[in-house]
Every structure is written in C-alpha cells, then in structure tokens.
C-alpha cells in the first residue's frame, strides 16, 4: 500500500506502524451491548469441546442459533430428546425463548433469532453476536485489550486472564441453576465451553512499557483492579447476580477505555502536528500524551455531545497520524516499530522534525483528507458512526421491543431524563452499576470510607460527580435506597459507604483453584 492508496481510501487500511499498536483501536468498536460483550468474551477467552473448530467465530453464531432452533423443533415434533438431556424439546424452547430471553431492540421486533442472557459459556455458541449477518467484530477482544494495557506486564496480564477464565467457567460450587444450564445446553448443542483457555498471540497481547502510566489516569488499569474485586464476589451471590455485576463493570470500563484512547489520540496528534510545524517538544512525552485527569461524563448532565466530540477528535487524529506515516514512507524515512508508547511517539516527532523539508506537502494532504472525509468526521457514516453506536448501546439503558421487559437492564450508565422519546440521555447509573462501583471502590480497603471515595472511583472511569452534592442528588437517594450508605455527621457529606458484599471484603480468603 502506498500514500496514493491511502488517499484513495483512508479508512480501509492503516499504516503498519499504527495497525496493531497498543494505543490504536484496531478493530474499531461497533455495535455491542453489555450482553454481547460478555458473550463475545466467552468466545475470546475459552474454547469449546469441538475437535474441528474449538474456537467459534463471531459470524458463525447466528447460524448456530438457527440450527439449534431447528433441532429443538424437530425433537419436539417427534417427542425425542438427546440421551443425556433432562428437558424435552418443548421445555427447552420455553427455557431459551422465555426464561433466558434477552430483550430485542424495537427495530428487531419482527426478526426471528435466538438471543439469551449469557449466564454460562455454552450459550455463547449460538447467541450474543454483534450482527446477524456478515462478519461481526469480536467485542471480547476489547476486554482482552483492556487487560493487557491495564496490567503492569505480560505475566500479570496473563494471570488476570487466567483468573477471569476460571471465574467464567461453571464449577461444582456454583449455584444449581448454573450447573443445570451448563449440562443441559451442552447436551443439546454438543458444544461444552471452557475446555481450555485461549491464549492471545503476540500481536493481540500488546502491553505498555513498565511504568508508562504511573501517576496517570487510565480506565484499563482501574478495570484490572476492579475485575479482581468482582471475581472475588462471585462466591457470595447467584450466577445471575454475578453476571449482572460483571456486565456493569465491563460496560463502564469499555466505553471509558475507548474515550481514553480517543483522548490519547488527540494529544498525540497535537504533538506530531507541532513537530510538523517545527516546534520544540520535550524528550519525554508521557505528560503530553496521557491525560493526568480524565473525564468525559458528568453525573446528571447530557452525555451524547461529549461522546461525539471525543469520537470526532479521534478520527481526525487517526487520519493525521496515518497520513504522516505514509508521507514518511513516500520520502524514504519509514518509521520503524509501532506507536505503542510515549517513547515511540517521541521518536515519530523527532523523525518528522528531521524530515520537515521532505514533508512540506503533508499538511496540504491532511487538510484535503479532512475536507473530503467531513461526513465521517461528523459521525454520519463509517468508523465514527460505529464507535458512537458502540458507546450508546453499551452505556444506554436497554430500549426493548417488549414493554414487559422494560426493567430488564439495571446496569446502565446513561438513562433518559423523562419518558418522552425526545428526552435527552443523561449520566445516571442504574442500581446494579452503583452496587458494582461501591463494591469496587471499597475493595482491598479496611475501615469506613465516605462518598468522596466513590466519587474518586467513578472519576477513574471518566465519570465526574461532585461528592459534596451526593447527599442531595439522585445518586444519594439511590445509595440510601440500596442500603449502601450510613448518614454520619462526622463523615464528609454526612455519608459513609457500606460494603454491599461484606463477605467478599479484605480479610476473607477466596480460593481460585
């Protein structure tokens, strides 16, 4: 691929130095809600007991769902069932289409496909794909990327990945319903999940250099810490409760991470643009590239406009960075390596500055591309539209076709201000999200903590809330309703946090293996 090819189709293929880099979003997120993230995570982290294809591709999932529906119908009509199954065809149809039903969106009400709550890994073989046709993006890869970027090194990342795999599997100490689902669904599909952990290859397992994010804000780093707290709580609740808690964590962290990557792109592109203009830059660009304080949502405020701004600046930065890299190739000064650290961006800035004369046309090329790709930059099509769709469906309270299931989603971050269709979406986390945030904010701590601790924890994911107003706003009311605070005149804002799962707090040992 050459500069001319890039100019002809700037979003089709990124430069080798950008593609697969730790700080790049490849593949860029598309539509996915919290259940799709978990279902895809099952397919990403573990293999099925299938000798021909132990890893089920995302595109194969809808076809597996249709095949399973036909198998159930055929057995129901003939009054048969697999030898090791406990339910007949009619009972299993009721289980999948009613008991485990995951609500469809309003625009999916006339479509027929199998969509269930991802309580166990066996459901991931036939449910939870991002799209019903084509080649859906592997949403679970985003969770894997967060673990590797948020860990101190590859060994620590692999340890977290292994512990998460073990927690996702159903064991003999899980509740009886989870064990029943594992055995029954695998009997009908012939696809038991969790045969072996799927280890990422070298390009998928990108870590930042040691100490790269020390003292800086990073949702991925906070996610790795909170994941341990959520997994530890598994033993004190049912499988359904724990899965809801995990979904709430993943959706908060995933969109926070995407917004953080957008901000890193913006600041990194600003450094490269300054180098293109001949400005002096420090040798250590960590403070210039990574945000020290990161925020993209404010509690109780409209959230859509901020998400749009972040995504648009990411697209402009991605276009500019790739254009500069291709221009460097064109003038014979190819950038070695990948853009996976502040040091690599510093090296790129130095290379750009050393070749300013040969890059005289780069600014004009970038301006032309920005003008030509205005619709994409305005998020009306392409990559930007997909990223916004991901953020909306991951954070929004699920809008459902069946009004009976309108209260199904309680782990949301954004909800409508009022019942009208035109009501704006505001940042107001649901009960399960608040339970998760309070539990994680108190993990590995001893002694009482005020609501200021909760505000600090939410800020780590880019959600700003004034702790002095919690006692009088909706968040304070929810905390009281859920029994997560004690009013105390000695505490800041008069409120002390109460651990929602005290059995999973420090001082209690939880065995992994």
pLDDT digits (tens, 9 = 90+) for 330-381: 988 999 989 999 999 999 999 999 998 888 889 999 999 999 999 999 999 9
- Give the per-residue pLDDT at 347: 94
What pLDDT sits at residue 226? 96
Q: Are 85 and 198 contained in the same domain? A: yes
Tokens, residue 38: 């978990």
Give the total number of structural domains in the chain: 2
* Residues 130 and 30 sit within 8 Å (Cβ to Cβ): yes
Assess whether the previous peptide bond of 27 is cis (omega < 30° from 0). Answer: yes
Judge whether 10 and 369 are in contact, CB under 8 Å: yes
Is residue 460, in this structure, part of any structural domain at all? Answer: no
Domain assignment present for 66? yes
Among residues 358, 386, 414, which one ends one of the domains? Answer: 386
Structure tokens at 365: 């090329």
Residue span of the structural domain in which 10 resides: 3-26+255-386
- The span from the CA of 366 to the CA of 372, in Å, is 10
Residues 81 and 11 in one domain: no
Q: Which residues pair with 450 in a beta bridge?
A: 496
Please indicate, yes or no, if residue 426 is contained in any of the structural domains. Answer: no
Shared domain check, 56 and 193: yes
Would 138 be classed as within a structural domain?
yes
User: Is 232 domain-assigned?
Assistant: no
Residue 145: what pLDDT? 93
Q: Residue 437 domain-assigned?
A: no
Domain boundary among 144, 174, 207: 207
104, 13: one domain: no
Q: What's the pLDDT score for residue 505?
A: 63
Q: What does pTM read for this prediction?
A: 0.93
Here the tokens at position 128 are: 């939870």
Q: Is residue 499 part of a domain?
A: no
Is residue 184 domain-shared with residue 49, that is, in the same domain?
yes
Instruction: Looking at the structure, tell me whether residues 78 and 201 fall in a common domain.
Output: yes
What is the token pair recorded at 189? 């599909």
Residue that the structure tokens 């991901």 belong to: 390
Q: What is the pLDDT along the chain (513 residues), one digit of tens a residue?
A: 788 888 899 998 889 999 888 899 878 899 999 999 999 999 999 999 888 888 899 999 999 999 999 999 999 888 888 989 999 999 999 999 999 999 888 877 677 889 999 999 999 999 999 988 888 999 999 999 999 999 998 899 999 999 999 999 999 999 999 999 999 999 999 999 988 998 877 666 688 888 899 888 899 999 999 999 999 999 999 999 999 999 999 999 999 999 999 999 999 999 999 999 888 888 889 989 999 888 999 999 988 888 899 999 999 999 999 999 999 999 889 999 899 999 999 999 999 999 988 888 899 999 999 999 999 999 999 999 999 999 999 999 998 888 888 889 999 999 998 888 888 899 999 999 999 999 999 998 887 889 999 999 999 999 999 999 998 899 999 999 999 998 876 655 578 999 999 877 644 443 333
Measure the CA–CA gap between 83 and 7, rounded to whole angstroms: 60
Q: In 233-372, which residue ranges form alpha helices assigned H by DSSP?
A: 239-276, 286-289, 304-330, 342-354, 362-372
- Domain presence at residue 323: yes
pLDDT at residue 185, as a whole number? 96
- C-alpha to C-alpha distances, 367 to 118, 265, 423, nearest whole angstrom: 46, 18, 37
Q: Which residues pair with 101 in a beta bridge?
A: 116
Q: Are residues 260 and 338 in the same domain?
A: yes
Cα–Cα distance list, 67 to 60, 72, 96, 298, 441 (Å):
11, 9, 14, 45, 44
User: Are 135 and 190 part of one and the same domain?
Assistant: yes
Q: Are residues 195 and 289 in the same domain?
A: no
Single residue among 207, 235, 265 that ends a domain in this structure: 207
57, 163: one domain: yes
Dihedral over Cα of 394, 103, 245, 397: its sign: positive
Angle between helices 140-150 and 34-45 (to 10 degrees): 70
Same domain, 67 and 10: no
pLDDT at 512: 34
Same domain assignment for residues 41 and 180:
yes
């Amino acid at each position: 691929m050459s500069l001319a090819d890039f100019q002809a189709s700037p979003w089709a293929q990124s430069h080798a130095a950008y593609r697969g880099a730790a700080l790049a979003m490849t593949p860029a997120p598309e539509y996915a809600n919290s259940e799709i993230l978990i279902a895809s995570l099952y397919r990403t982290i573990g293999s099925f007991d299938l000798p021909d294809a132990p890893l089920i591709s995302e595109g194969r999932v809808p076809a597996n769902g249709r095949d399973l529906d036909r198998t159930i119908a055929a057995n129901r009509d003939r009054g048969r069932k697999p030898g090791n199954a406990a339910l007949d065809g009619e009972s299993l149809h009721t289980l999948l289409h009613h008991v485990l039903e995951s609500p469809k969106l309003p625009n999916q009400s006339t479509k027929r496909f199998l969509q269930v709550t991802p309580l166990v890994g066996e459901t991931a073989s036939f449910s939870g794909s991002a799209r019903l046709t084509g080649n859906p993006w592997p949403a679970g890869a985003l969770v894997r990327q967060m673990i590797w970027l948020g860990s101190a090194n590859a060994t620590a990342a692999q340890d977290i990945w292994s512990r998460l795999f073990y927690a996702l599997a159903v064991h003999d100490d899980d509740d009886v319903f989870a064990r029943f689902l594992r055995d029954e669904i695998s009997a009908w599909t012939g696809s038991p999940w969790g045969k072996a952990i799927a280890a990422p290859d070298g390009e998928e397992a990108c870590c930042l250099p040691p100490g790269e994010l020390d003292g800086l804000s990073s949702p991925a780093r906070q996610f790795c810490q909170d994941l341990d707290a959520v997994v530890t709580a598994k033993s004190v609740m049912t499988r359904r409760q724990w899965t809801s808690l995990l979904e709430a964590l993943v959706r908060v962290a995933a969109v926070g991470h995407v917004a953080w990557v957008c901000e890193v792109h913006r600041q990194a592109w600003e450094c490269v643009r300054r180098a293109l203009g001949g400005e002096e830059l420090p040798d250590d660009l960590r403070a210039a590239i990574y945000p020290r304080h990161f925020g993209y949502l404010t509690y109780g405020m409209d959230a859509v406009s901020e998400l749009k701004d972040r995504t648009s600046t990411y697209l402009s930065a991605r276009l500019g960075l790739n254009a500069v890299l291709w221009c460097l190739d064109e003038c014979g000064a190819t950038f070695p390596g990948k853009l996976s650290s502040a040091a690599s961006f510093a090296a790129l800035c130095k290379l750009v500055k050393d070749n300013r004369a040969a890059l005289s046309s780069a600014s004009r090329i970038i301006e032309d591309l920005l003008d030509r790709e205005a619709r994409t930059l305005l998020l009306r099509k392409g990559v930007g539209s997909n990223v916004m769709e991901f953020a909306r469906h991951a954070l929004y309270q699920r809008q459902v076709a069946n009004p009976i299931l309108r209260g199904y989603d309680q782990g949301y971050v954004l909800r409508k201000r009022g019942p009208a269709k035109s009501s704006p979406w505001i940042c107001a986390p649901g009960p399960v999200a608040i339970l998760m945030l309070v539990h994680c904010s108190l993990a590995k701590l001893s002694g009482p903590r005020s609501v200021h601790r909760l505000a600090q924890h939410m800020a780590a994911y880019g959600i700003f809330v004034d702790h002095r107003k919690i006692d009088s706003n909706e968040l304070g009311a929810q905390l009281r309703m859920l029994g997560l605070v004690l009013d105390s005149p000695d505490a800041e804002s008069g409120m002390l946090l109460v651990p929602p799962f005290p059995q999973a707090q420090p001082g209690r040992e939880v065995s992994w293996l």
